[in-house]
Structure 1
Amino acid sequence: MSADSRTGPPDTAPRHRLEVAELSKAFGSTRALRGVHLRIAPGELHGLVGQNGCGKSTLVKILTGVYAPDPGASIAVDGQRLALPVRPMHQRAAGVSVVHQNSGLVDDLTVWENVRLGHYRAGRLSRRINRRDEQRATERVLARLDRPLEVGRKVGQLSAEDRAVVAIARAVQDHRPGGGLIVFDESTRALGRSARIRFFELVRSLVDEGTSVLLISHQLEEVVEATDRVTVLRDGTVVEAGLRTSEVDEVSLTRMMLGRHLVTHGRVGSQVKDEVVASARGLAAGPVTGLDLDIRRGEILGLTGLIGSGFVEAAEALAGARPADAGTLSVHGRDLALDRRRGCTEEFVDAGVAFVPERRLEAGVAGELSVADNLTLPRVRDRGGRLRTGSAWQFEETAAMIAKLDIRPPHPQAPVHTLSGGNQQKVLLGKWLAGTPNLLVLHEPTQAVDVGARHDIVDAIREAARDGCGIVLASIDPVDLAVLCDRVLVFRDGRVAKELSGELEQDAIVQAVFGDDTRPQEEGQND
């Protein structure tokens, strides 16, 4: 680290790998952080939890120099205070790295190109990059992690687990053994159950060597199980700092995050009617062939399985979001071709088929548009005039959905990308619920949202079922499936291997998904 990146003398034996003090940040009249204190010891796995919008992302962006904190803040790594705002080169020299929830990887580049991106060493005279040297550097860091990968393979071809390994390799390559701090910002969201176990085995091996880790996660269960201590943020303020996770549980963390007791969702009475609202016949998509499905009015039908088993492809094809090889869908008496060569997305929307995809910002909402524009977009053509869309109906719909889903902040003109993840998800769900769909297809609707937003979303899904909507829920989350669904179809190798109904239990769903077939080579493909 260069001398101008530090202020103040170093401690001879620093007690803390990271020490943040009096960290505040305001955006106009909105105060995102207020006097935050955070301490992480060397070789500690520290959790950071809080509702969406509580300031977690702002904190990470200050640590990485995206934002400058308000005056009076201090950030020290191994006893060395960093000049503020943090400069990326000083962050890297201090051994601080971040793995974001989307891993920040480029699918079209190879493993070694992703790992070494921004770290290339050009020849002194030729200024050319020696590909073989860069590949060897990548192989060394992967060997250090004991996770060998083919460095010439495109990252877009890797499983979620291997993508996480690449992201970790990129993060630790500048760390001295036993040093550094890695911030994992919702980095486990795309990992299945087995891959998540192996992810934490890898993280724990780094921690055991002395590396410190800050884990930001909405999965309170993994925070309690995996971390040593946890800090809780609420409304930009630290309400509990450095709690030993051996002394807390998910319920107590939830109460700290919300400042109140939150009633846990349990199973409710079925809303299923006899009438069939949607029928699929002969659906073939990806590994799925010849699938027949009936979804009744008010039914919540779960689709699950190992990643690659076909349940995701089936859900996306039912929603018209991906081309099927064959099949038809009948919705409320209207026939739709699932084969994209004969069908089109507009027909699905007109028939009342709605889709909430897993990747909300990439495929669900228009981040640069306002909350109002996103909430009303599907109905502009039908309700607007030839020369203008009209504003009265948009105002009414937007106000009603903001109130119904408790979208925060409740500002219709706020760009969606400025909202927290949970509130972005509410906007995505609300834009379809406002049109009272006949068939609603959901893919991981509560993924990477806080417990408060999850309850709002679960309530909204149940209300849609009570109103007579047929719902398909594609998820690997046994909690969502057990709490919401009337039936669950478990896919394996492109077919429905098991159907569960009645009083659904999480353990039964997990057992049905994994069964006795837990061969490592299958789990490692796309788990």
Structure 2
Amino acid sequence: MARLELRGISKTFGPNRVLSGVDLTVGPGEIRGLAGQNGSGKSTLIKILTGVYAPDPGARISVDGTALGTPVRWQAAHAAGVSVVHQDLGLLDHLTVAENICVGGFPTTRMGRIDRSACDRISATTLSRLGVDLDPATYVGELSAAQRAEVAIARALRDHAPGQGLMILDESTRALRGSDLDRVHGMLRQMVAGGSSVIMISHSLHELASLSDCVTVLRDGRVVADLDAAAGLPEHEIARAMLGDSVTRFDRAGKQAADERPRIVVQGMAGQHARDITFSIGAGEIVGITGVPGSGYEEIPALVAGGARTTAGMLHVDNANVDLARFSVSRAMRSGVVLVPERRDRDGLALELTVQDNVTLPRLRRLRRSFFLSRTWRAIEGRRAIDEHGIRPANPHALARQLSGGNQQKVLLAKWMAMRPKLLVLHEPTQAVDVGARQDILHKIADITQDGTGVLIVSSEADDLTAICDRVLIYQADGGLTPGDSDDADTLLEQVFTTPAPHMTGQ
């Protein structure tokens, strides 16, 4: 008997049909990947399954052979064993692990009070089913990213009978890297080995191909492919199905060697964890930095751009020398250094402002125009950003929070690229964007080098680094940078995770 059956799922909003006759079957003990570009219908399908939207007439939904009425009532779906782990995980940092797991279903005493002992028992039992060793009394705010994901998954699993239930992971692993991601994947494999099922939505094609038993691909509201991943599925096959065309490897025309006289030089930079950072970037050169997650290389973007305190180091930009120990964001911008941060939602965008407000914000003080001229100028610049970066919807007055992840990232790139910096620093520039947006973003990064801008990309995505970078440097656990392979992603990853070589300068 199938764990989940969806038949004839369609959804129309006004004149727009966003889903058309979608059929999907998920078996017991199966991890089903769900892929598709933004706007393909993934979110709408999940919202129909969880009762947020009502499907068009004719839809049929059943869990373990029991039909759910349409529109689905969330209480009925939950009672049938359907649960969701959302992208932001929905955890409360000021509550304990046990309290977070029991939120929405606290056990109570006969007096109607929360039964703390029962709450601890339920939490310990649920965590044990997942093979997770966590103290239920620990506050969630003290946990690592991987542990937070484990708690969110445990909460979703709490009411599932052993070997039953369907868990939907909606971009829930986007913040995880390296060993943290492997740890959560291992937990999911253990869960489905007992008979539970998972629908995984992810923009990471590598994650879908390596973890899923089958990947269902949506395009323009229709199922265009059910790809068997168990026997080994190339990522480009998923991408081809998503885009409806062959996806070629991004290849930057004419990767260049470092200039004899580099435009940007960082010498002896050190922060809280990263140390002994020395590298150079020539005019129009793209340099990548990567390393083992947690080793400290993730600090480098904020250190270079004045967003984190440095304890030592010098920055040379053209003919200017700057003491990094006295650096700040405002001084970095005056020096021509700007940062596209990893967390666009927290550190990069004003989500309650419009697209045009976001892309013009850093330049308002420099222009010092009157209100009326500024308003006209902002409208022109907002439209230019939309046209140049392919931001959708093409509405300069749309709020940033209303955009998809890929389009938010395009707004963030447009915001800082318009500054025409001398050094553009990018931290995980393609994180949680779909394959089409990734191609667009890499092309725009390559384009900005045409006027001599140097680019530093700090990323864990080996495919991105080898696709676009002229050189790649690997941060070693004991400090310093060593050269890495800039042409082959597999070789680069092998170099990252092998024993550190003797210290060499990355310059």
Structure-2 separation of matches of 1:344 and 1:203: 43
User: 1:380 touches 1:389 (CA, 8 Å); kept in 2?
Assistant: no
Structure-2 separation of matches of 1:472 and 1:209: 45
Determine if the alignment matches structure 1 residue 507 to structure 2 residue 490: yes
1:459 Cα deviation (Å)? 0.8
User: 2:263 touches 2:282 (CA, 8 Å); kept in 1?
Assistant: yes
| Paired position in structure 2 for 1:147 | 132
Structure-2 separation of matches of 1:370 and 1:36: 34
User: 2:474 touches 2:496 (CA, 8 Å); kept in 1?
Assistant: yes
Measured against aligned partners, the alpha-carbon deviations of 1:3-37 in whole angstroms (never above 9, x if no partner) come to: xxxxxxxxxxxx32222233333445544333322
Structure-1 separation of matches of 2:434 and 2:343: 16
1:388 Cα deviation (Å)? 4.0
The root-mean-square deviation of aligned C-alpha atoms, in Å, is 2.5
Measured against aligned partners, the alpha-carbon deviations of 1:436-464 in whole angstroms (never above 9, x if no partner) come to: 11111111111111111111111111112
SS of the aligned residue for 1:294 comes to strand
1:400 Cα deviation (Å)? 2.9
SS of the aligned residue for 2:374 comes to coil
Structure-2 separation of matches of 1:30 and 1:439: 43
Structure-2 separation of matches of 1:247 and 1:496: 37
1:243 Cα deviation (Å)? 5.4
Letter in 2 for 1:163: R
Distance 1:133 1:229, change over 3 A: same
5 Å-filtered alignment, 1:365-384, equals 365-383=349-367
| Paired position in structure 2 for 1:486 | 470
5 Å-filtered alignment, 1:202-281, equals 202-241=187-226, 246=231, 249-266=234-251, 268-271=253-256, 272-281=258-267
Which of residues 341, 358, 370 in structure 1 aligns to 2:342?
A: 358
Give the TM-score taking structure 2 as reference length. 0.90
SS of the aligned residue for 1:372 comes to helix
User: 1:368 touches 1:417 (CA, 8 Å); kept in 2?
Assistant: yes
User: 2:268 touches 2:276 (CA, 8 Å); kept in 1?
Assistant: yes
Structure-2 separation of matches of 1:31 and 1:381: 44
Measured against aligned partners, the alpha-carbon deviations of 1:259-287 in whole angstroms (never above 9, x if no partner) come to: 12222213642244444333334422111
Structure-2 separation of matches of 1:225 and 1:438: 39
User: 2:178 touches 2:293 (CA, 8 Å); kept in 1?
Assistant: no
Identity %: 45
Distance 1:344 1:316, change over 3 A: closer
Distance 1:267 1:154, change over 3 A: farther
Give the TM-score taking structure 1 as reference length. 0.87
Letter in 1 for 2:450: R
1:473 Cα deviation (Å)? 1.0
Which of residues 58, 71, 79 in structure 1 aligns to 2:65?
A: 79
Letter in 2 for 1:173: R
In structure 1, list runs of 5 or more residues that go unmatched: 1-14, 518-527
Structure-2 separation of matches of 1:69 and 1:274: 62
Measured against aligned partners, the alpha-carbon deviations of 1:339-381 in whole angstroms (never above 9, x if no partner) come to: 4xx5432232233222111222222122222222222222222
Structure-2 separation of matches of 1:504 and 1:250: 18
Structure-1 separation of matches of 2:79 and 2:114: 22
SS of the aligned residue for 1:463 comes to helix
| Paired position in structure 1 for 2:505 | none
Determine if the alignment matches structure 1 residue 40 to structure 2 residue 23: no
SS of the aligned residue for 1:430 comes to helix
Task: Identify the range of structure 1 (353-362 vs 183-192) with the bigger mean alpha-carbon deviation.
Answer: 183-192
| Paired position in structure 2 for 1:156 | 141
1:244 Cα deviation (Å)? 6.3
Determine if the alignment matches structure 1 residue 397 to structure 2 residue 381: yes
Structure-2 separation of matches of 1:113 and 1:457: 41
Task: Identify the range of structure 1 (29-38 vs 115-124) with the bigger mean alpha-carbon deviation.
Answer: 29-38
SS of the aligned residue for 1:276 comes to coil
Determine if the alignment matches structure 1 residue 22 to structure 2 residue 5: no
Structure-2 separation of matches of 1:329 and 1:65: 54
Measured against aligned partners, the alpha-carbon deviations of 1:365-418 in whole angstroms (never above 9, x if no partner) come to: 222222222222222222352434624433333333322222222222222222
Task: Identify the range of structure 1 (435-444 vs 159-168) with the bigger mean alpha-carbon deviation.
Answer: 159-168
Determine if the alignment matches structure 1 residue 198 to structure 2 residue 176: no
Distance 1:448 1:506, change over 3 A: same
Structure-1 separation of matches of 2:118 and 2:313: 51
Distance 1:297 1:157, change over 3 A: farther
Which of residues 382, 395, 402 in structure 2 aligns to 1:411?
A: 395
User: 1:489 touches 1:496 (CA, 8 Å); kept in 2?
Assistant: no
User: 2:239 touches 2:247 (CA, 8 Å); kept in 1?
Assistant: yes
Structure-2 separation of matches of 1:58 and 1:389: 41
Measured against aligned partners, the alpha-carbon deviations of 1:165-224 in whole angstroms (never above 9, x if no partner) come to: 222211111100111001112233232233333333322222222111111122223323
Letter in 1 for 2:242: M
Structure-1 separation of matches of 2:72 and 2:346: 29
Distance 1:268 1:205, change over 3 A: same
Determine if the alignment matches structure 1 residue 435 to structure 2 residue 419: yes
User: 1:279 touches 1:293 (CA, 8 Å); kept in 2?
Assistant: yes
Distance 1:73 1:148, change over 3 A: same
Structure-2 separation of matches of 1:354 and 1:155: 33
| Paired position in structure 1 for 2:445 | 461
Structure-1 separation of matches of 2:17 and 2:347: 30
User: 1:230 touches 1:245 (CA, 8 Å); kept in 2?
Assistant: no
Structure-1 separation of matches of 2:153 and 2:120: 16
Distance 1:28 1:432, change over 3 A: farther
Structure-2 separation of matches of 1:461 and 1:88: 43
Distance 1:165 1:285, change over 3 A: same
SS of the aligned residue for 2:38 comes to coil
Which of residues 477, 502, 506 in structure 1 aligns to 2:461?
A: 477
Structure-2 separation of matches of 1:242 and 1:164: 27
